[in-house]
Structure 1
Amino acid sequence: MKVSASQPFQIIYSLYQHEYLGYLFESFVVHLDENGKLTLQHQNISSKNAKEFAHGLDETDFMLIDLMDAMQQESVIKHFNKRSIKPEDFFLKTYDSQKGNETLQKEIEHYLERRRAKILANLKGKRVFEMGNDGEPAWKEIEVQETKATILFHFRRNEENTHYFPTIKHNGEKLDFQYKSAYIVCKNPAWMVLGGKLYSFEKDVDGKKILPFLNKRFIVIPKNVEEAYYNKFVAPLIASFDVYAKGFEINTERYAPKPIITLSELASNKAALTLFGENGNGHASDDEKILIELMFQYGPFKFKADNIGKVSVTVEKKGESYVFHRVQRKQSSEKSYLDILNSTGIHLKNSKAIFSKPQAFGWLDQHRELLESNEFSINQRSLNGKRYFIGEYKIDIEVRENIDWFDINAVIRFGEYEIPFQKIRKLILRKKLEFELPNGEIAVIPDNWISQYGDLFAFSEEEKDGSTTLKKHHLALVQDLKDGNMAQVQMSRKLEGLREFEKIGEATMPVKFKGSLRPYQKAGYNWLRFLNEFHFGGCLADDMGLGKTVQTLAFLQSMKEQGQEGTSLLIMPTSLVYNWQNEARKFTPGLKVFVYTGTNRMKDPSKFSKYDIVLTSYGIVRLDIDILTQFYFNYIILDESQAIKNPGSNIAKAVGHLKSRSRLILTGTPLENSTMDLWSQMNFINPGLLGAQSYFKNEFLHPIEKKGDEEKLKKLHSLIKPFILRRHKSQVATELPEKVENIQICQLSKDQEKEYEQVKSYYRDKILENIEASGLNRSQLLLLQGLTKLRQIANHPKMVNPDYDGDSGKMEDVIFMLDNAIRDDHKILVFSQFVKHLSILADHLREQKIDFAYLDGSTKDRQKQVDRFQEEKNLKVFLISLKAGGLGLNLTKADYVFILDPWWNPAIEAQAVDRAHRIGQENKVFTYKFITKDTVEEKILALQRKKKRLAADLITTEESFVKSLSQEDIQSLLT
């Protein structure tokens, strides 16, 4: 019967019992008569219609309505069963006495109890009723009692058994609740209805402790189980509630707490709760764990740290008698001790934490003074007679600079015992982190030593005389030890200057160098001279177009004038040999240059000594490695050194065999795919700088790339910083004209959109099915294939389907803008990674009789195409493929750059633009990147922004970009 919100009404709450769900509440509005009394006219009210009656409700009513809605059977079924099911089927399946789901029953009960407790706590001042059997909501009113009842538990022990029963009082009056049809509405905490009144209890009594006595006078505890019962049931009861006992003693006792930390070794199959999350991050094997347990000693009694109640009870049996020691806990003192432990990074669960052995003893050593000053006792529980050393650890290290190395002097002590540095080093390198001391105790190398000195242990070397040395190129490691007060260091100020590039002194320019260096180029030259003085290898990693070639030539000229004799070998991609030859002729005409390339090259290494510089290609080195290893070069210099980024490649192995006094590498992109690229190049210039390949993978590559470890990234940066000089255009080439970047959004044509949607649907279903069946890793090839086809169709469907005779929205935009730029007398570079895309545009230019230069991987007269574009005034367009034009081109006559298709790697796009925006450019450079709307191209841009950190730290290729995609990323690309 509907109630009008415009008429007087009252909200009431009605309690009823559900066959399976127990006691539930429902909310109603009831019409009031002219005297303000409830009528039989009522209506259910829920969150859906509550706003109609808002003027008669308060905030608590709205909250109660929401809670009661959530308890109705439809809501419960929907919450615990996502599929559609009839209520009777759900309840039979869940609560069947034979096949019911007990786990689900408990979850439902927990769900409902939380809501019951919250409802009951907010019913004060509200009208509450028992619902009649006919569904009448206001059948019998229940009075909500504002004051809480108290409960006293009675125990009477005699020779045969112990009787146990509670008494309840409310407002000082004893309640006669047994055999009076009382019922428990909520168990946790207890709420009881008795004689039309609703009672709650002080101390949050568990309703299960009252429930047995609603229809029973007392419970009998037999003699044969009383000891177990007293410990498991009676002792916790005495700790939390008021108890009256006959037949045993209850003594209240007070002591000051003393914190005790106990260490013990664990068996192998325990899960680890460590400082670093589950299973830890330590170097000991997973089955070697130490349990750290905190307890508090109160006089003769010990209690676990996780049970911080006001009172703890211990049961003592004296002959046939029992004494319950009720110990008052000092919660504030215990919390302060826990806060001290939390400040050290240890977080207890159930008063315990489990560490790997190095972590446990590292933690103990690191915080020993703090624990001792706060009077923590450290004990250990031996296992199988094994006893660990828990005394003081100490490591003192002194580093002294020698001629070409550092001498390492170290004193390591475990208590009174001094242990040789080399013994500890060998143990750590073998991942064996414990050893026996002369007194039979087991010493464990703490993990803070591994984190602080791990690189020193890994990179130092034992000499024949037993001394320990460190190669000088590890100066960053030495400096970090000094800065962290982890070692006493003696190092020259001049060598320290390499860490801070600005502190490197000025070097005189070579007299016979033709030309002048810009200030930043002169600084790069000074840096190369400094490296040469200390016999260090280096990586000149300036941005494209900043003059790495001219800085290197100035350096080679200076070495000749300084009397440093010898021939230097420069290795580069074939396409750059001609450029190096021209630059050397221009800037260093006094240097004798020999070009070692071509099928008719003279394979006689003895001829090299007549020249200052030998120019060759990576391909020739790979073919002639046996010949080239016969000659000892002054310098070996690799241009575009990312060619050796894969340490397992033939070319990386080949250049590693070459012999020289020193090594340099030149590259605008030292990282393209992975931090392993960096290891390969750094290991070439300074062998051993980053350790062995396996060490680098474990200590740097995996933590940085898989875990995003910032500390490892900082450490890696610190190690390589002295030997990489990288300047960006924005920092140094201020004389360059402005570079303006634009994104040109294109629309799919109708025919093009139809082709795109067909291919997208096909690959989306196929890829997602493959991921579900075979996993993400095994679907990457199919994903790359599908994305490539979609990108090609977004450019022009003819790239995928030669028979396509429709149009392309992007191609129309490109042609329109290209025609305008030509008409306005601009010179334009047009880049695409797809040769087919360039071919379609080339066909248009031929039809329009527009001359153009062209360069892809099959072009043989590469330099001729470059010269034509640079020198012929009427030649306005240069079509260039990514692979062919990404390196070694100087195209400063161009002032427009068109990028026809977005690349996974923003750095490669930047390289393309740098063909025009480089030293020598006098015009403003306009870049247009063409993106087709509502296609994978647009979504790739969004993902690039999302993964900006990955692109910045680890410049990615297509394959590595695809590997970085999550399933959610893939679904967004294909929707």
Structure 2
Amino acid sequence: MARTGQRRDGARRTAGRHGQRARTTDLVGELARAVRDVEAAAKRGRVTPSVRATFQAVALLLREERARVRAAAMSDSQRGDQLKRLEGIATILATTAVRDSGLLALLGEDAVVSDAARRTAREIKAALGVEPEPEEEPEPVATAPVEAPRRVVPQSVVSRQLANPFLAPDYDAAATQRGPRAGRLAGWELMGPLLASFERASGGAPACMPLPFPTQRFTPAGLELMPHQGQLVASVAEGHRSFLLADEPGLGKTAQALLAAEAAMAYPLLVVVPNVVKTNWAREAAVWTPHRPATVVQGDGDNVDGFADIVIVNYEVLDRHRGWLGDFGFRGMVVDEAHFIKNTSSQRSQHVLGLSDGLRLRTAKPLLMALTGTPLINDVDDFRAIWRFLGWVDDSKPLAELTECLEGTGLVPADREFYDSARRCVIDMGIVRRRKVDVAADIPARRIADLPVELDGAAGRSIRAAERELAARMVAQYRQAMAYRDVTDDELDMDLVRRVAKSELKDAMTKQNGENVFSMMRRIGEAKAELAADYAAQLARSAGKVVFFAKHIAVMDIAEASFEKAGVRFSSIRGDQTPSARQKQVDAFVNDPEVSVAVCSLTAAGVGLNLQVASNVVLAELSWTDAEQTQAIDRSHRIGQTEPVTAWRIIAAQTIDSRIAELIGSKAGLAARALDGSDEEVVATGDVQLEALVSLLVDALAA
């Protein structure tokens, strides 16, 4: 209740600052401040329940205000100004939601509005002198802290539990989780060396455990697996039960996981997936295991089939279903796009890891599978959460089976040979990584083609001026620091250059005023949007269906308006759609010959979707990582594709956009080095952002 009181006090202070100004100005300004607070919390990785409530309250009030402005009696220019301000808040909401899947779920049409969010919305309106609408029922007196998670148990799950009262967990499995016996490695810190063993991997050392030749058939009549898929299922049939399935995107990981469960008889099976692919998983289950009923958890789970063999749930609703999922009696668990849990402090990671821990304690030899074509996004530390999910390590050390393998090498981290042997031990625990070039030679080639465009007119001039302003700000910081040094050498101090760039990057992530690298990239995307849409329309007319990717909602809006003007029919695939609405958009693009373009959110549609009907991909905006870019392209470049795939990157010439394009291409070696045996340099995601600023500052100092 203390936090509620603090919110009320803050609301009163806000009302005092605003006095009795017009309602719209007061409300929009307060919403802007509230969403900035949420954005700052998301950037710090501190999305608490109260932050989630504020986020959802802002979304509710934004929708109300947008509807009010559209219906109000005012001039077109006044209405346009108000809607533009509201659109700015909507953009911040969307970009903030991308940082945390729990926030993204709150924007969906099927999202349940929490009592805390409604209360926060009423407090904001009351503090600004806006009379809240009367509620149909009085608000119940809170008997627990607002922050307590809301848990639900679907009625059909209760029915299942009543029908199977004697299903007891196998607690003998807990013995496998006990710590290893003390040996040569007792006292050694092992997690750091294990992770480093992948950084140090030499050329020609790919990461894939030995896999047997398939001798059994688990597919339904009329369907066949590719050889590499059959090998993994054969391994499960021989008794292996934990896998990091890191095949390159497009190699059919979903089918492998479903048939692995069949080979292991790992039912009931829990499948945790991003919201965007939930419906697709149910469809794939109906294809590959049609005799195993699957159920999809939506919202509070009112339509869940408690007797299903396969339960599919998205990350965003795990918090409210964690209780009954932990007691359901699962014998297998699959986590799709497992790099989503790389941040072990996030709520979704804690839910996934908690379910995995319970499963391994209650079930003898459960099937555990982490699926991701891009297991490494930032650095090799991304492995840590996935290894924990699979039961190979805990917070600080390897568990019994992995430790016994390490002991068997007879080496310690002080030995040079330890790292190759340690890497081999981890791989044999269940890492499976295959590349298209090695196992699916029948998939046509892909290429990335850059299309430089000139940003003319006022928008182009404004962007270039903002870039000069950003460079000048960093130059001033550099020269101010140099002025305090007692040196006369004019040689460029690269260490100082990088520190200035890091400072600018930190400010860009925390401060909301002024031009920075992120706001510039958004503006560049908006300036490129119509040019990119024109090119996509030309491709659609001459070469068939096209997938159009963008990062920002505003860019998608501009592109879709351009397609409408040109008479080009399109599907729109966004993060704020319900699974059924999104699937309708996907189906329209795939099946309707008149729908020639799929306008996709790079974050919401860049994973899990099968868009192989298109062989041309337009990347209207650049990602910060090669992995995200690759994921997007592989929506088309996958099994079943019959034509070469070309990804057209639209690059704004003579801007920071072109610098970033070069950096993405030069820093794409993380997974290649750690998993594919390449000699390419291992780099972190943030390097692209930092190096772009370093490059900008170096050029400005040399000018």
Instruction: Tell me the TM-score normalized by structure 2.
Output: 0.59
Choose the corresponding residue for 1:732, options 392, 415, 439.
439
1:528–1:555 CA contact under 8 A, matched in 2: yes
Deviation at residue 677 of structure 1 after TM alignment:
1.6
Confirm whether residue 855 of structure 1 aligns to residue 573 of structure 2.
Answer: yes
The 1-side partners of 2:533 and 2:695 are apart by 36
The 1-side partners of 2:520 and 2:376 are apart by 28
Amino acid corresponding to residue 623 of structure 2 in structure 1: W
Compared with structure 1, are the counterparts of its residues 711 and 898 closer, same or farther at alpha carbon in structure 2 (3 Å cutoff)? farther
The 2-side partners of 1:862 and 1:750 are apart by 36
The 2-side partners of 1:656 and 1:513 are apart by 36
Confirm whether residue 721 of structure 1 aligns to residue 427 of structure 2.
Answer: yes
What are the equivalent positions in structure 2 for 1:563-962 lying under 5 Å apart?
Answer: 566-601=267-302, 608=306, 610-658=307-355, 659-660=358-359, 661=363, 662=366, 663-688=368-393, 691-692=396-397, 714=420, 717-722=423-428, 723-770=430-477, 776-783=501-508, 786-797=516-527, 810=528, 813-824=531-542, 826-860=544-578, 861-949=581-669, 952-953=672-673, 959=686, 961-962=688-689
The 2-side partners of 1:538 and 1:951 are apart by 17
Deviation at residue 796 of structure 1 after TM alignment:
4.2
What's the secondary structure of 1:633's corresponding residue?
coil
Compared with structure 1, are the counterparts of its residues 686 and 966 closer, same or farther at alpha carbon in structure 2 (3 Å cutoff)? farther
Confirm whether residue 537 of structure 1 aligns to residue 255 of structure 2.
Answer: no
The 2-side partners of 1:927 and 1:425 are apart by 49
**% identical equivalent positions:** 23
Deviation at residue 520 of structure 1 after TM alignment:
1.4
What are the equivalent positions in structure 2 for 1:207-222 lying under 5 Å apart?
Answer: none
Deviation at residue 674 of structure 1 after TM alignment:
2.6
1:45-100 deviation line (CA, Å, top 9, x unaligned): xxxxxxxxxxxxxxxxxxxxxxxxxxxxxxxxxxxxxxxxxxxxxxxxxxxxxxxx
Higher helix share: 2
Compared with structure 1, are the counterparts of its residues 948 and 545 closer, same or farther at alpha carbon in structure 2 (3 Å cutoff)? closer
Amino acid corresponding to residue 543 of structure 1 in structure 2: E
1:571–1:618 CA contact under 8 A, matched in 2: yes
Compared with structure 1, are the counterparts of its residues 909 and 455 closer, same or farther at alpha carbon in structure 2 (3 Å cutoff)? closer
What's the secondary structure of 2:353's corresponding residue?
helix
Compared with structure 1, are the counterparts of its residues 596 and 936 closer, same or farther at alpha carbon in structure 2 (3 Å cutoff)? same
Q: CA RMSD in A?
A: 4.0
Deviation at residue 897 of structure 1 after TM alignment:
0.9
Higher strand share: 1
The 2-side partners of 1:776 and 1:526 are apart by 51
Amino acid corresponding to residue 286 of structure 2 in structure 1: R
Compared with structure 1, are the counterparts of its residues 508 and 578 closer, same or farther at alpha carbon in structure 2 (3 Å cutoff)? same
2:209–2:431 CA contact under 8 A, matched in 1: no
What's the secondary structure of 2:516's corresponding residue?
helix
The 2-side partners of 1:644 and 1:812 are apart by 36
What's the secondary structure of 1:820's corresponding residue?
helix
The 1-side partners of 2:291 and 2:334 are apart by 19
Compared with structure 1, are the counterparts of its residues 775 and 951 closer, same or farther at alpha carbon in structure 2 (3 Å cutoff)? farther
In the alignment, what sits opposite 1:388? none
Confirm whether residue 508 of structure 1 aligns to residue 213 of structure 2.
Answer: no
Deviation at residue 404 of structure 1 after TM alignment:
7.2
1:644-669 deviation line (CA, Å, top 9, x unaligned): 11111112111222222322111111
Amino acid corresponding to residue 913 of structure 1 in structure 2: I
The 2-side partners of 1:923 and 1:678 are apart by 34
The 1-side partners of 2:692 and 2:627 are apart by 19
What's the secondary structure of 2:549's corresponding residue?
strand
Amino acid corresponding to residue 898 of structure 1 in structure 2: V
What's the secondary structure of 1:824's corresponding residue?
helix
Aligned residues: 466
What's the secondary structure of 1:883's corresponding residue?
coil
What are the equivalent positions in structure 2 for 1:53-72 lying under 5 Å apart?
Answer: none
Deviation at residue 770 of structure 1 after TM alignment:
4.9
Amino acid corresponding to residue 841 of structure 1 in structure 2: A
What's the secondary structure of 1:902's corresponding residue?
coil
The 2-side partners of 1:946 and 1:550 are apart by 33
What's the secondary structure of 1:926's corresponding residue?
strand
2:524–2:652 CA contact under 8 A, matched in 1: yes
What's the secondary structure of 1:908's corresponding residue?
helix
What's the secondary structure of 2:234's corresponding residue?
helix
What are the equivalent positions in structure 2 for 1:322-333 lying under 5 Å apart?
Answer: none
Of stretches 669-678 and 774-783 in structure 1, the one that deviates more from structure 2 is 774-783
Compared with structure 1, are the counterparts of its residues 647 and 796 closer, same or farther at alpha carbon in structure 2 (3 Å cutoff)? closer
1:446-503 deviation line (CA, Å, top 9, x unaligned): xxxxxxxx649999xxxxxxxxxxxxxx9x99xx9xxxxxxxxxxxxxxxxx997456
In the alignment, what sits opposite 2:154? none
1:646–1:676 CA contact under 8 A, matched in 2: no
Higher RCO structure (Cα 8 Å, ≥6 apart): 2
2:663–2:688 CA contact under 8 A, matched in 1: no
The 1-side partners of 2:695 and 2:254 are apart by 45
Compared with structure 1, are the counterparts of its residues 591 and 972 closer, same or farther at alpha carbon in structure 2 (3 Å cutoff)? farther
What's the secondary structure of 1:745's corresponding residue?
strand
Compared with structure 1, are the counterparts of its residues 616 and 847 closer, same or farther at alpha carbon in structure 2 (3 Å cutoff)? same
The 1-side partners of 2:463 and 2:288 are apart by 53
- In the alignment, structure 1 segments of 5+ residues that lack a partner are 1-402, 410-420, 430-453, 460-473, 481-497, 697-708, 798-809
Deviation at residue 962 of structure 1 after TM alignment:
2.8
In the alignment, what sits opposite 1:293? none
Compared with structure 1, are the counterparts of its residues 554 and 929 closer, same or farther at alpha carbon in structure 2 (3 Å cutoff)? same
Deviation at residue 517 of structure 1 after TM alignment:
0.4
In the alignment, what sits opposite 1:248? none
In the alignment, what sits opposite 1:524? 232
Instruction: Tell me the TM-score normalized by structure 1.
Output: 0.43
Amino acid corresponding to residue 521 of structure 2 in structure 1: R
The 1-side partners of 2:246 and 2:671 are apart by 17
2:208–2:433 CA contact under 8 A, matched in 1: no
Amino acid corresponding to residue 779 of structure 1 in structure 2: E
The 1-side partners of 2:599 and 2:267 are apart by 42
The 2-side partners of 1:939 and 1:456 are apart by 36
Between structure 1 and structure 2, the one with the greater Rg is 1
2:611–2:636 CA contact under 8 A, matched in 1: yes
Deviation at residue 689 of structure 1 after TM alignment:
7.1
2:261–2:332 CA contact under 8 A, matched in 1: no
1:904–1:957 CA contact under 8 A, matched in 2: no
Deviation at residue 831 of structure 1 after TM alignment:
0.8
What's the secondary structure of 2:603's corresponding residue?
helix
The 2-side partners of 1:641 and 1:508 are apart by 28
Deviation at residue 948 of structure 1 after TM alignment:
4.3
